[in-house]
Amino acid sequence: MKVPAVVAVVCVLVAVVVAGCTAPISFDPARDKDGNNPSAATGADGDAATEKNESGLPCAVKKVLEEKCQLCHGAETNYGASTSLVTLDDLKKEFNGKKVSDLVAARVANEDRPMPPITAPALSDDEKKTLSSWIDGGLAAGKEASCEAAQKSDVPKLGCKADMKLVAKSPYKMAQDGPTDEYVCFGVDVTTDKKKHIVGFGPLVDNKKILHHILVLEADKSVSPDPQPCTPFQAKWKLITGWAPGGTAFELPAEAGMPINPGTTHYVVQLHYNNATNLAGQEDLSGFDLCTTEDLRPNDAGVLAFGSVKIDVPPRAEQAVTCDYKLDERFDGATFFGANPHMHKAGMSIGTKRLKGGTGPEEDVFSQERFDFENQANHEIDVKVSAGDVFRSTCVFKNPGDQTIKFGENTADEMCFNFLTYYPLVPDQAGALGLPVGKRLPGGGFNWVTPSVEGCGLSLGDLNDLRKQL
């Protein structure tokens, strides 16, 4: 699979600004086995290029902050970040009554809300030591006149030629005195008389000041092309891909393409905005670039959601929900190549394991030991399966409140879906995956949900409860 290189970004979310910036996991084929980037800028003699050090920081500290933080926390903050992390003075400032450097140190050591976020590669032990030792030592000023030039990341570019855009009819205007976080959706209908394949998805970033992340979904019907507030996730929408700062573009493997069939396909783009610094006059027209082709690839790709809708988390309790699904002969030889896990704010962890032949030891398909609702993106996997294999999906929830949490679309409700992209497509997804929701739920239900009746303990009564929730 072709996956564009990306430099991992650590977004320091200081104080109460939880949703300021995100950093999905990155895959960087440009780096060698030792983690070095052979394409890094070099001097005339092949040595790494240097630049004047005007930050007041020691070079080692400056390098960590430049390469891992400043996509969001630069001299000009982006993606909802609330403070800069560029100079010694920036680290000495106070934010909400605490020194910024102390907030950075706390996030480096926080396992529940770590820096970097859980979807990004963790800081190495050396990088943690560099930051913590410098902060604990009193923020000593750097004495070096110049430092090695850092590798800086930006919005990823597609390797294919984009020929279709998923953008709103008009820009979304974010009110200065409105909510800090807003979820906004718009629809794009794509009509064609000839089948096409989507072979690449790339983010179109318009306003870095307020954009937090972007999701692309497929809907069962048209959604307004005008951007408007929406729930974070509707149950009938199928998650295709996502992007957040530091993430990659999504290019499909050469063996498959996401089909756009003759007729009309309904797409939805969801944007999460964060205006932590209460900027005035902010507008945004972000979306996604698509690469499409009529030269069809050997296989159609599809998306399946492994997980469960049977969620019932008691007040002030933790609950694990596990669902097994046995892959039948239609999945023999299938390849799963992407994962988009989705839960809400009570979600703690999510994972899907493969049991070869149904009884073999568990092999990881894709798991997040610490799920973060604010950090959702596409992740590369490469898992080939055989008929008879079992996918075991588990979600763990923690309910800190006084009300029972059940399945639902709002952030106060919960979901447990590991959306996996795969090929070749199995057309009859609902019937193939054990829950004939298209026959039992009004309006066709969701045609992609995968919990097996036997494995997840769903009954007709459960389905009736699910009807009411939808």
Tokens found for residue 295: 């030269």
CATH number of the 301-469 domain:
2.60.120.230
Handedness of CA 184, 189, 195, 200 (dihedral sign): negative
The whole-angstrom separation of Cα 416 and Cα 407 is 8
Prior bond of 116 cis (ω within 30°): yes
Asked if residue 351 lies in contact with residue 381, where contact means CB atoms within 8 angstroms, the answer is: no
Q: Could you give the C-alpha distances from 302 to 128, 131, 338, in angstroms and in order?
A: 40, 43, 10
Task: Quickly list H helices, 110-172.
Answer: 125-136
Per 3-state DSSP, the chain is made up of helix, strand and coil in percentages (nearest 5) of: 15, 35, 50
- C-alpha neighbours within 13 Å on the C-beta side of residue 109: 13
Of 89, 302, 292, 94, nearest to 199 (Cα)? Answer: 292
Average pLDDT across the chain, whole number: 78
Average confidence (pLDDT) over 289-314: 92
pLDDT > 70 in the chain, percent: 75
The whole-angstrom separation of Cα 217 and Cα 240 is 5
Tokens found for residue 235: 């149950």
Task: Give the tens place of pLDDT for each residue, 42-73.
Answer: 444 445 688 888 888 988 888 888 877 766 77
Q: How many residues does the chain have?
A: 470
Comparing 441 with 99, the larger pLDDT belongs to 99
The whole-angstrom separation of Cα 213 and Cα 242 is 7
Query: What is the predicted pLDDT for the residue at 76?
Result: 74
**What pTM does this model have?**
0.69
Task: Give the tens place of pLDDT for each residue, 337-361.
Answer: 999 888 888 999 999 999 999 998 9
CATH number of the 164-299 domain:
2.60.120.310
Position of tokens 């080939």? 384
The whole-angstrom separation of Cα 369 and Cα 48 is 37
Listed in order, the ranges of the chain carrying CATH 2.60.120.230 are: 301-469
Tokens found for residue 40: 């890094």
Query: What is the predicted pLDDT for the residue at 5?
Result: 32
- C-alpha neighbours within 13 Å on the C-beta side of residue 214: 33
Query: What is the predicted pLDDT for the residue at 456?
Result: 54
The whole-angstrom separation of Cα 396 and Cα 415 is 11
Average confidence (pLDDT) over 4-29: 31
Average confidence (pLDDT) over 252-264: 95
SS3 183: strand
Of 399, 391, 387, nearest to 330 (Cα)? Answer: 387
DSSP for residue 356: G
Query: What is the predicted pLDDT for the residue at 360?
Result: 86
Listed in order, the ranges of the chain carrying CATH 2.60.120.310 are: 164-299
Asked if residue 285 lies in contact with residue 165, where contact means CB atoms within 8 angstroms, the answer is: no
The whole-angstrom separation of Cα 418 and Cα 415 is 10
Task: Give the tens place of pLDDT for each residue, 181-218.
Answer: 888 999 999 999 999 999 999 999 898 888 888 889 99
Amino acid at 5: A
Position of tokens 């019937």? 431
Handedness of CA 221, 222, 224, 228 (dihedral sign): positive
